[in-house]
Structure 1
Amino acid sequence: MHKKFNIGIFDSGVGGLSLVNKIKQKLPKENIIYFADKANGFYGTKTEREIKELCKLYAEFLHENQCKIILIASSSAACAALPYLQEKFDFPVLGPIEENIKAALKETKNNHISILTSPFTAFKKVYEDEIKKYSLDIKYETITVSPLSNLVENGWNNFLDNEIILKKSLKNISLDSDTIILGSSYLSLIKDDIKKNLKNKNIIDPADQWIKDLYKTLYKMNLLNDQEKSGRLEFFVNKDLDKFKKVSENYLKNSIDVYQIF
């Protein structure tokens, strides 16, 4: 495997763009291929078997396009398929959940954590199970925030009522909780808005945890790209190309090329 090979990212939509931004800031020489599974909507509403089949297909696509490592940006996809993909393939496949938990446990001062995530991830109790591996003294709560996903996916600032819906989605967070995990990738794209509504609470952004794990893995495998020029970006979707391009350019604050596949 070559250092100049790509970092592959896949998500059900635009959520993983927060990770793209972080990689371009911290590892600007890396080449990135991003695949958005727009044809299948949000993974949080699918069965585990359906998610595994989709993840296998897209991991194969990314690897065939010279990806040296694959990041599953969707927490629903990661909790359903990460162990399966790690066992099936001989290249590194990373998910966000473990690193999010480690960061939250370091930040909390009163051992009370809230996790904002999708219905599927909440149902699977993967965050709860991961917390118990590290501590039995932590209080935690999982809060589903599904109404926010549609707003982010279609352009957060396009909705005049986004702040109202955000407040409603966050109202069930315990006052005692001092640390909030953004347990779905798309929440990173509206982190600043969430922070305004959750003052004096620690916010665990998965993009921040991703970049640490990504750097550590590439460094250990001697796969950090050392080319002189900045890395390239390629985007692929299987539906709604024009809409994805428009929304993504707003989040990335840059023009991008997007290609239709599948």
Structure 2
Amino acid sequence: MDNRPIGFLDSGVGGLTVVKELMRQLPHEEIVYIGDSARAPYGPRPADQIREYTWELVNFLLTKNVKMIVFACNTATAVAWEEVKAALDIPVIGVILPGSSAAIKATRHKKIGVIATPMTVTSDIYRKKVESLDPSVRVTSLACPRFVPLVESNETGSSLAKKVVYETLTPLKGRVDTLVLGCTHYPLLRPIIQNVMGPDVKLIDSGAETVRDISVLLNYFEINRSRELNHKQDVFYTTAGVASFQTIAENWLHQSISVEHVSLKEALSDE
């Protein structure tokens, strides 16, 4: 047993889609979450900057004595996951491999679409991962730079969101039978995405698929939290405004949560 919390990092609120699934599958595990909304979105940023920001999030989580770190962000996974995983002595999980594996299982005609941030698409990591697992699959990737700002500004149900999603996804319509939501922000737009793509297209939530891997690793390393501990204190940190983060988080998670503002540079300089 290991009763320390699991750490989650994301560029903002998107990683909450992974947290929601963890709460469903592993409700006894304790969570520390850091969302860098002040610097979101990460997708259009250069790789070196994403790497720098990701390490700041990782180092912040390490100050919270976490037993595992989950990259609940596709962009950070694409740019920095391998490097961080190699450097730490605790398990570090990314969202790309689980999403790729699930898409291969789901596709009927071997036509998979991936929607993601510009950096994730530029890295070509989903296509490489999918084709390494099944070379017969054809992958079509599309950058959706306007999606994350919609989610971060809590406009997921607006007429603007419907217009942006429709305009962005039109090039993929009729070309794929499976669509990977290759950014953890995108499941918050899922109803609109499904409506645009049509009912026959299977949507793959890479973050939700990742929780299965978390469960496997907790068992493998024997670091599950004791089920005899009834009380747990999940804590969520944001680098931007608490009120906006809390509104989005509580609407998505359907429960009250504890949210604190943090300045990463100050927090890390105190260590």
Q: TM-score, normalised by structure 1?
A: 0.94
Please state how far the C-alpha of 1:254 moved relative to its aligned partner: 2.1
Q: How big is the alpha-carbon RMSD for the aligned residues of Structure 1 and Structure 2?
A: 1.5
Number of matched pairs: 261
Please state how far the C-alpha of 1:174 moved relative to its aligned partner: 4.3
* Distance in 1 between residues matched to 2:116 and 2:52, nearest whole Å: 22
Moved more, 123-132 or 157-166: 157-166
Alignment of 1:219-234 (within 5 A): 219-228=219-228, 229=230, 231-234=232-235
* 2:262 alignment partner in structure 1: 261
* 1:217 alignment partner in structure 2: 217
* Structure 2 spans left out of the alignment, 5+ residues: 264-271
* Distance in 2 between residues matched to 1:148 and 1:56, nearest whole Å: 24
* 1:97 alignment partner in structure 2: 96
* Distance in 1 between residues matched to 2:105 and 2:246, nearest whole Å: 37
Matched, 1:25 2:33: no
* Distance in 2 between residues matched to 1:89 and 1:53, nearest whole Å: 16
* 8 Å Cα contact 2:44-2:145 kept in structure 1: no
Moved more, 221-230 or 104-113: 221-230
* Distance in 2 between residues matched to 1:245 and 1:134, nearest whole Å: 39
* Distance in 2 between residues matched to 1:161 and 1:46, nearest whole Å: 24
* 1:251 alignment partner in structure 2: 252
Code of the aligned partner of 1:108: T
Please state how far the C-alpha of 1:207 moved relative to its aligned partner: 2.7
* Distance in 1 between residues matched to 2:175 and 2:126, nearest whole Å: 19
Please state how far the C-alpha of 1:158 moved relative to its aligned partner: 5.8
CA offsets per residue over residues 39-60 of structure 1, 9 Å max, x none?
2121111111111122112112
* 2:122 alignment partner in structure 1: 123
* Distance in 1 between residues matched to 2:157 and 2:110, nearest whole Å: 37
* 1:14 alignment partner in structure 2: 13
* 8 Å Cα contact 1:28-1:231 kept in structure 2: no
Code of the aligned partner of 2:79: A
* 8 Å Cα contact 1:100-1:206 kept in structure 2: yes
CA offsets per residue over residues 147-166 of structure 1, 9 Å max, x none?
12111111134633222222
Code of the aligned partner of 1:208: A
Identity fraction in percent: 25
Code of the aligned partner of 1:163: K
**Runs of 4+ displaced beyond 4 Å:** none
Please state how far the C-alpha of 1:196 moved relative to its aligned partner: 2.7
* Distance in 2 between residues matched to 1:76 and 1:19, nearest whole Å: 15
SS of equivalent to 1:137: coil
SS of equivalent to 1:85: helix
Alignment of 1:100-249 (within 5 A): 100-157=99-156, 159-198=158-197, 199-228=199-228, 229=230, 231-249=232-250
Please state how far the C-alpha of 1:230 moved relative to its aligned partner: 5.6
SS of equivalent to 1:70: strand
* Distance in 2 between residues matched to 1:36 and 1:90, nearest whole Å: 23
Matched, 1:51 2:40: no
* Distance in 1 between residues matched to 2:145 and 2:84, nearest whole Å: 26
Please state how far the C-alpha of 1:232 moved relative to its aligned partner: 2.7
* Distance in 2 between residues matched to 1:71 and 1:47, nearest whole Å: 22
* 8 Å Cα contact 1:28-1:230 kept in structure 2: no
CA offsets per residue over residues 191-233 of structure 1, 9 Å max, x none?
2332233211111111321111100011100111123326431
* Distance in 2 between residues matched to 1:195 and 1:140, nearest whole Å: 19
Code of the aligned partner of 2:92: V
* Distance in 1 between residues matched to 2:195 and 2:232, nearest whole Å: 33
* Structure 1 spans left out of the alignment, 5+ residues: none
SS of equivalent to 1:225: coil
Code of the aligned partner of 1:250: N
SS of equivalent to 2:113: strand
* 8 Å Cα contact 1:191-1:205 kept in structure 2: no
Code of the aligned partner of 2:212: K
* Distance in 2 between residues matched to 1:197 and 1:38, nearest whole Å: 27
